[in-house]
């Protein structure tokens, strides 16, 4: 199967303000948000990107949508390099690749009616106005808000969180995109509503044959959405494989810690103690070699000297750990 | 045998006056916090859990008032005025976002020392020593006392907020979503620390959260709230393992579980009722797959069996309903 989205050695550094000492010494400190990520996403695949705050997962999503430019490396969409897009080709890409925002309460302009919010992408894409009403109605049906007359003239504050998230999704789908990036699409919603949105995301993906990337801090949640999961730590990919394998049989020591830390809603399940201590190090000065080594219970000399490459350990399962060679 | 309650909330009613009418945010909530136990107060947005805790502390928003009910601390009724004297020394608060309880222009150490000196009457030297001791207690290096809140990570700020809450050795800690904004590994570290502190200092704790997996991990007892009322309460293993109220059963189905074999989450259709309206009967009835005509009429009666309370009229059939609730189809028919 050919990849729809492909990243090759993608690096993204954000420069930070320099202290006097750093200016004198000619240093250019930067937050190393992503450091050498290579990833292929096949057409119609759904991939979860999980990790803690600051691991680079949101930056990765923004890069795939060309909302920010990589410091180095290349990203292609359907065989075309994103770096070379401009003018008409960029507009064509924007129609095909959409973002679903994290917080439905901030994602919509409070002064726009729901109709205008959902129709806006059509306006930006230059779709004739005569087609707007039909397209909006179709998008509303997709997200199961069928009685659309009830919503179109309303304003965001008149809707519940679950309804708003459906509207946000309708807006992302109104141009019938091929690729969707959703950044924590349900983290702001109540539990009883969240399950409905997850089911909807799955259904929409299957019906439209969408390629989707779900960014989340919650491993327990993405299990219901994606067959494949990428685990990130401090700007690097540490593990990539089938979600069921990652959850049941994590290979990388960081993934193991992450799985052990996820709480479960069952008081009878005894939870293993957390296998790691300490905090995520400063992304301006990550450890040499493996970035996880100073928290890793299994670290040895080689881990400080050499960054482990992602290597395939089983079919479709890749791990970046020296223990696994 | 249950230890005697340190805090008892009886038929608490909290009303907010708004332009669109009176919102009955808490409408007859009754629960107790036994000495030395961690009680989870769980429910979704707008169920009244945070309001209940704010009412206990006597710090309701200006348009809020206690319209009825009693709050007793060590068997003595307390109100907004008498609670003030208990704050810090007996009852302390840990907020969701430590950034909002810590002042950005003072060092964290200075803020803890201020509590010790102003509230606790400690000398400057004693306050300094005690602040260092508190930092050690929550797993922070005392060298960080001279840092400002923005120099701390989210997890460290939460530790600092807990250290501050413990400054005057309270017996009851009220924590409002204390780990919600944190990453899972940091979250686990803080939960483990809270459990250790609770045992070492013999604390009682109320943990307000929307997250039943946090309740399952940390709490001894749980109080489930829905639309301003308590619908179920009891020992955590009982309530989460053998729920007797359909709302709790639905929450369990809707909650992601890393270790379960189920491949889909089941939503509860609809939403909670408008608390400005006069509501009769069970408030979950419009969303409940097991609703019967009798459910919507008359006042609720609590059924208590072995410390496990529920307000569901069909609690006698709980075992049957629980089996039916596991079938996703049950929740689609509403």
The interface pTM score, or ipTM, of the predicted complex is: 0.88
Chain A interface disruption, residue of B43, B179, B186, B213, most A CBs within 10 A: B213
Question: What separation, in Å, do the N-terminal and C-terminal C-alpha atoms of chain A show?
Answer: 27
> Are residues B70 and B13 in contact, defined by beta-carbon separation less than 8 angstroms?
no
> What's the token pair of residue A145?
């808000």
User: Taking CA B45 as the corner, what is the angle to CA B40 and CA B49, rounded to the nearest 5 degrees?
Assistant: 40
User: Which residues on neighbouring strands pair with residue B24, listed in sequence order?
Assistant: B15
Per-residue confidence (pLDDT) for residue B333, from 0 to 100: 62
Q: Does the structure show a pLDDT above 60 at A109?
A: yes
Q: How distant is the Cα of A166 from the closest Cα of chain B, in angstroms?
A: 14
CB pair distance less than 8 Å for A192 and B214: no
**In a 3-state reduction of DSSP, which class is residue B10?**
strand
Which among B44, B185, B240 is the nearest to A274, CB-wise? B185
* A274 in reach of chain B (CB within 8 A): yes
Per-residue confidence (pLDDT) for residue A149, from 0 to 100: 82
Residue A272: CA atoms inside 13 Å, Cβ hemisphere, count? 11
> pLDDT-based confidence at A284, cuts 50/70/90?
confident
Task: Please indicate, yes or no, whether the overall pTM of this predicted structure exceeds 0.90.
Answer: yes
Say how far apart CA A100 and CA B14 lie, in whole Å. 38
> What's the token pair of residue A11?
């690096």
Per-residue confidence (pLDDT) for residue B2, from 0 to 100: 63
CB pair distance less than 8 Å for A191 and B254: yes
Contacts of B76 by beta carbon, 8 Å cutoff, 6+ apart: none
Q: Which domains does chain B carry?
A: 5-90+170-332 (3.40.50.300), 97-169 (no CATH)
Per-residue confidence (pLDDT) for residue A88, from 0 to 100: 93
Q: In Å, how far from its chain's centre is CA A137?
A: 28
Per-residue confidence (pLDDT) for residue A226, from 0 to 100: 93
CB pairs under 8 A between A and B: 123
3-state secondary structure chain A: CCEEEEEEEEEEEEECCCCHHHHHCCCCCEEEEEEEEEEEEECCCEEEEECCCCCCHHHHHHHHCCCCCCCEEEEEECCEEHHHCCHHHHHHHHHHEEEECCCHHHHCCCCCCHHHHHHHHHHHCCCCHHHHHHHHHHHHHHCCCCCCHHHHCCCHHHCCHHHHHHHHHHHHHCCCCCEEEEECCCCCCCHHHHHHHHHHHHHHHHHHCCEEEEEECCHHHHCCCCCEEEEEECCEEEEEEEHHHHHHCCCCHHHHHHHHHCCCCCCCCCCCCCCCCCCCCCCCCCCCCCCCHHHCCCCCHHHHHCCCCCEEEECCEEECCHHHC
Q: Mean per-residue pLDDT for A151-176? A: 91
CB pair distance less than 8 Å for A264 and B258: yes
Residue A294 to residues A30, A167, A275, A297: CA-CA distances in angstroms?
A: 21, 44, 13, 8
Per-residue confidence (pLDDT) for residue B334, from 0 to 100: 54
User: Which residues on neighbouring strands pair with residue B310, listed in sequence order?
Assistant: B232, B303
Say how far apart CA B252 and CA A246 lie, in whole Å. 23
Chain A interface disruption, residue of B258, B262, B289, most A CBs within 10 A: B258
**In a 3-state reduction of DSSP, which class is residue B284?**
coil
Per-residue confidence (pLDDT) for residue B52, from 0 to 100: 96
CB pair distance less than 8 Å for B211 and A259: no
Per-residue confidence (pLDDT) for residue A21, from 0 to 100: 84
Quote the radius of gyration of chain B (alpha carbons, Å).
21
Per-residue pLDDT of chain B (334 residues; tens, 9 = 90+): 567 899 999 999 999 999 999 999 999 999 999 999 999 999 998 999 999 999 999 889 999 999 999 999 999 999 888 888 899 999 999 987 777 778 999 999 999 999 999 999 999 999 999 999 999 999 999 999 999 999 998 899 999 999 999 999 999 999 999 998 889 999 999 999 999 999 999 999 999 999 999 999 999 999 999 999 999 999 999 999 999 999 999 999 899 999 888 888 899 988 899 999 999 999 999 999 999 999 988 778 889 988 999 999 999 999 999 999 999 999 986 5
Contacts of B23 by beta carbon, 8 Å cutoff, 6+ apart: B15, B16, B275, B276
Q: Mean per-residue pLDDT for A242-261? A: 94
Q: How distant is the Cα of A197 from the closest Cα of chain B, in angstroms?
A: 9
Question: Other CB atoms closer than 10 Å to residue B286's CB: what's the count?
Answer: 15
- H/E element, B133: helix B124-137
Q: Does the structure show a pLDDT above 70 at A267?
A: yes
> Are residues B166 and B107 in contact, defined by beta-carbon separation less than 8 angstroms?
no
**In a 3-state reduction of DSSP, which class is residue B46?**
coil
- H/E element, B16: strand B5-18
Q: Does the structure show a pLDDT above 70 at A1?
A: no
> Are residues A198 and A46 in contact, defined by beta-carbon separation less than 8 angstroms?
no
Per-residue confidence (pLDDT) for residue A190, from 0 to 100: 87
DSSP class of residue B69?
E
Q: Does the structure show a pLDDT above 90 at A152?
A: no
């Amino acid at each position: 199967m050919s990849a729809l989205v492909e990243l090759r050695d993608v690096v993204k550094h954000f420069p930070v303000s320099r202290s006097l000492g750093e200016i004198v010494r000619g240093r250019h400190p930067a937050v190393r948000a992503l450091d050498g990520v290579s990833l292929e996403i096949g057409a119609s695949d759904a991939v979860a990107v999980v990790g803690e705050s600051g691991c680079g997962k949101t930056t990765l999503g923004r890069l795939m949508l060309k909302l920010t430019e990589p410091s180095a490396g290349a990203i292609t969409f359907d065989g075309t390099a994103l770096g070379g897009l401009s003018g008409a080709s960029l507009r064509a890409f924007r129609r095909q690749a959409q973002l679903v925002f994290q917080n439905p309460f901030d994602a919509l302009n409070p002064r726009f009616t729901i109709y205008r919010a959902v129709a806006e992408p059509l306006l930006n894409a230059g779709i004739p106005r005569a087609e707007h009403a039909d397209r909006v109605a179709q998008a509303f049906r997709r997200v199961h808000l069928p009685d659309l007359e009830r919503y179109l003239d309303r304003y965001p504050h008149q809707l519940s969180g679950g309804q708003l998230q459906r509207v946000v999704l309708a807006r992302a789908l109104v141009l019938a995109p091929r690729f969707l990036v959703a950044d924590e699409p349900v983290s702001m919603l109540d539990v009883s509503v969240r399950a409905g949105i997850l089911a909807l995301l799955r259904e929409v993906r299957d019906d439209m044959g969408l390629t989707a990337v779900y960014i989340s801090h919650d491993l327990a949640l993405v299990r219901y959405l994606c067959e494949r999961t990428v685990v990130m730590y401090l700007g690097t990919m540490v593990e990539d494989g089938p979600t069921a394998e990652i959850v049941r049989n994590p290979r990388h020591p960081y993934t193991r810690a992450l799985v052990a830390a996820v709480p479960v809603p069952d008081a009878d399940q005894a939870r293993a103690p957390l296998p790691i201590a300490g905090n995520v190090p400063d992304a301006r000065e990550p450890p040499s070699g493996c970035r996880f080594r100073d928290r890793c219970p299994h670290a040895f000399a080689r881990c400080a000297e050499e960054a482990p490459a992602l290597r395939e350990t089983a079919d479709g399962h890749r791990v970046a750990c020296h223990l696994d060679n | 045998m249950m230890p005697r309650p340190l805090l008892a909330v009886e038929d608490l009613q909290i009303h907010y006056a708004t332009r669109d009418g009176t919102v009955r945010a808490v409408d007859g909530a009754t629960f107790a916090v036994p000495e030395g136990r961690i009680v989870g107060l769980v429910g979704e947005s707008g169920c009244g859990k945070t309001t209940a805790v704010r009412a206990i502390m006597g710090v309701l928003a200006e348009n809020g008032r206690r319209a009825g009910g009693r709050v007793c601390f060590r068997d003595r009724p307390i109100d907004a005025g008498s609670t003030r004297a208990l704050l810090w020394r007996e009852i302390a608060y840990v907020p969701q976002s430590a950034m909002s309880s810590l002042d950005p222009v003072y060092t964290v150490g200075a803020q803890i020392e201020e509590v010790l000196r102003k509230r606790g009457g400690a000398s400057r030297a004693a306050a300094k020593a005690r602040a260092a001791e508190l930092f050690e207690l929550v797993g922070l290096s005392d060298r960080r006392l001279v840092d400002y809140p923005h120099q701390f990570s989210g997890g460290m700020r939460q530790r600092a907020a807990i250290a501050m809450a413990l400054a005057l050795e309270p017996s009851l800690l009220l924590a409002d979503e204390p780990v919600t904004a944190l990453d899972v590994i940091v979250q686990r570290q803080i939960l483990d620390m809270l459990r250790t502190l609770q045992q070492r200092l013999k604390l009682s704790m109320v943990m307000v959260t929307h997250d039943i997996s946090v309740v399952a991990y940390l709490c001894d007892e749980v109080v489930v709230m829905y639309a301003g009322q308590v619908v179920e309460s009891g020992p955590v293993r009982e309530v989460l393992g053998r729920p007797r109220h359909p709302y709790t059963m639905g929450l369990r189905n809707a909650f992601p579980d890393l270790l379960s074999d189920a491949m889909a989450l089941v939503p509860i259709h609809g939403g909670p009722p408008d608390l400005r309206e006069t509501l009769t009967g069970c408030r979950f009835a419009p969303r409940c797959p097991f609703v019967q005509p009798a459910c919507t009429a008359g006042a609720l009666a609590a059924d208590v069996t072995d410390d496990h309370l529920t307000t569901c009229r069909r609690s006698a059939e709980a075992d049957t309903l629980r089996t039916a609730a596991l079938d996703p189809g049950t929740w689609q028919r509403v």
